[in-house]
Structure 1
Amino acid sequence: MVNIDTFRKLALSFENAIEEPHFEKTSFRVNKKIFATFDEKNHHAILKLNEIDQSVFCASSEIIFYPIPNKWGKQGWTIVELFKVRPEMFEDALKLSYQNVAPKKK
């Protein structure tokens, strides 16, 4: 299980990551681009994964990771059930989400 404090600590540990509101959610961004959101009401995260990473995480556990059921899901946006996910697995997915959005180092 991952709580908001753990989520926040991990998300803000990435270079240039910031926290900002996003409608009724909390978002984590790098260079104004969202790489993760926290939905307190439903206690889940939404991460921006690439197609391959999304398929791997979703295949590993369909009740923990699953695409948003609309066009956003087809673009890699993936729901993570925070009550069910192991912290190590969440950390791996969050890191990939950040790397998908963060500027590439030269």
Structure 2
Amino acid sequence: MITTKDLRQLALSFPEATEEPHFEKTSFRVKKKIFATHDTNNNRLTIKLSEADQDLFSLIDKSMIYPVANKWGKQGWTIVELSKVSEEVLKDALATAYCEVAPKKLADMVRNEE
């Protein structure tokens, strides 16, 4: 199971990533743009993906990774159930979300590590 500590460590491992409050959640950002929010009460992560990446990750298991069920979901916001996801899939999903919002130079740094 992914712990809050594990998630924080992974999200903050990306270049220039920061952690800030976002309403009742914790957000992870790069250059002030949110790439993920963590809802500790529901053990759920919401990440920003492109439509294509959202479709691709949802194919893994629709009970584990799925679009937010409103207009935000149509904009790529995707829920990850932390109690169901493996560390490997989470790392890939977070990296993809980070690269979706990060400036090209920072995103390329992450892509080149993979």
Q: Under TM normalisation by the shorter chain, which class is it?
A: over 0.9
Superposed CA offset, 1:58-86 (max 9, x none): 11100000100000000100000000000
Which residue of structure 2 lines up, in the alignment, with residue 54 of structure 1? 54
Which residue of structure 1 lines up, in the alignment, with residue 13 of structure 2? 13
How many corresponding residue pairs? 106
**Matched residues in 2 for 1:11 and 1:43: separation?**
15
Q: 1:3 Cα deviation (Å)?
A: 1.2
Say whether 1:69 aligns with 2:69. Answer: yes
Could you tell me the percent identity over the aligned residues?
58
Which residue of structure 2 lines up, in the alignment, with residue 99 of structure 1? 99
Say whether 1:31 aligns with 2:36. Answer: no
**Matched residues in 2 for 1:2 and 1:93: separation?**
14
**Matched residues in 2 for 1:2 and 1:76: separation?**
23
**Matched residues in 2 for 1:3 and 1:96: separation?**
20
| Unmatched 5+ stretches in structure 1 | none
Ranges of 4+ aligned residues in structure 1 off by more than 6 Å: none
Say whether 1:88 aligns with 2:83. Answer: no
Give the TM-score taking structure 1 as reference length: 0.97
**Matched residues in 1 for 2:29 and 2:50: separation?**
17
**Matched residues in 1 for 2:66 and 2:3: separation?**
19
Give the TM-score taking structure 2 as reference length: 0.91
RMSD across aligned positions (CA): 1.0
Please state whether the residue corresponding to 2:34 is helix, strand or coil. Answer: strand
| Unmatched 5+ stretches in structure 2 | 109-114
Superposed CA offset, 1:22-59 (max 9, x none): 00000000010000010011000000011111001111
Please state whether the residue corresponding to 1:60 is helix, strand or coil. Answer: coil
Q: What code does the residue aligned with 1:10 have?
A: L
